[in-house]
Structure 1
Amino acid sequence: MKKTRILVVDDEPGFTRLLKLVMRQYDIREENDPHRAIETALSFRPDLILMDVIMPGIDGGNLAAQCRADTLLQRVPIVFLTAVVSPSEAGATSKEIGGFPFLAKPVSPEALERCIEEHLSAA
């Protein structure tokens, strides 16, 4: 059975490595250079993209807009992972940033798993 492909775009290599170790049931590709994220996504063809919001040179919002503008990536679900909003602040608020769902860092493996499954089934 083919594993679900997830692209993780985050400028912190330690975070992407940890995600890859914790979420072994998925085929995870790490991209720590946000400027290469579109190129990586086009070659990897992910089923879902997890993306940081604040990264050097290009933010997640602009990167997500570039994905939506590309015919091969426009239907790939994108979920932001961000430390800009804490888990307690995210509690009762709308769970979207710029029209995209988000999870607040630090995120538990269980919450991440639920989010991934929810967005894959909706796609």
Structure 2
Amino acid sequence: MMEETVKSKKIRILLIDDEKDFGFFVKLNLEKTGRFEVTTTTSGSKGLILASKDRPDLILLDIIMPELSGGQVAEQLLENPDTAKIPVLFITAIASRTEVQSQQGTIGGRSLIAKPVTPEELMAKIDRLFAGK
């Protein structure tokens, strides 16, 4: 019985992306599966506060954003002991699918997925990140 409770726990995701519409649709598509609980913000600095406060299971992070870039946010996440171990999946429009595939879906040791991304692609990538956990 205890094992069923653990398996049914939703994966908590923090999405940090300055494109409000993208965030809305990612949240909608992931949450409608019943497997995910998604919090969104369009601000890197607010994302850092939410990550530290909420400690999500995964952070989806855009690379190109005003104020703080995704790289700067990722650096600050690593420097904070409360957030250093939270996996980050970069989501970007600056790399094509082909470029991402040629890098085996990683950049600087972090997972990467190219925009536009379908809900199925995103869920498959998240499933791979959590496989074996």
Quote the RMSD (CA, aligned, Å). 1.5
Of 19, 24, 31, which aligns to 1:17?
24
Tell me if 1:116 matches 2:126: yes
Residue of structure 2 equivalent to 1:106: 116
SS of equivalent residue, structure 2 residue 131: helix
TM-score normalised according to structure 2 size: 0.85
Q: Point out where structure 1 has 5 or more consecutive residues left out of the alignment.
A: none
Q: Point out where structure 2 has 5 or more consecutive residues left out of the alignment.
A: 1-7
Give the fraction of aligned pairs with identical amino acids, expressed as a percent.
Answer: 35
Tell me if 1:68 matches 2:78: yes
SS of equivalent residue, structure 1 residue 29: strand
Tell me if 1:2 matches 2:2: no
Give the structure with higher Rg (CA).
2
TM-score normalised according to structure 1 size: 0.91
Tell me if 1:46 matches 2:53: no
Alpha-carbon contact 2:18-2:66 (below 8 Å) kept: yes
SS of equivalent residue, structure 1 residue 91: helix
The C-alpha deviation readout for 1:83-109, integer Å capped at 9, x for no partner, is 001223323333222321100001121
Alpha-carbon contact 1:10-1:31 (below 8 Å) kept: yes
Of 43, 63, 73, which aligns to 1:33?
43
CA change 1:107–1:39 in 2 (3 A) is: same
CA distance in 2 between counterparts of 1:122 and 1:79 reads 17
Of 79, 88, 104, which aligns to 1:78?
88
CA distance in 1 between counterparts of 2:44 and 2:93 reads 17
The C-alpha deviation readout for 1:53-73, integer Å capped at 9, x for no partner, is 000011111110111111111
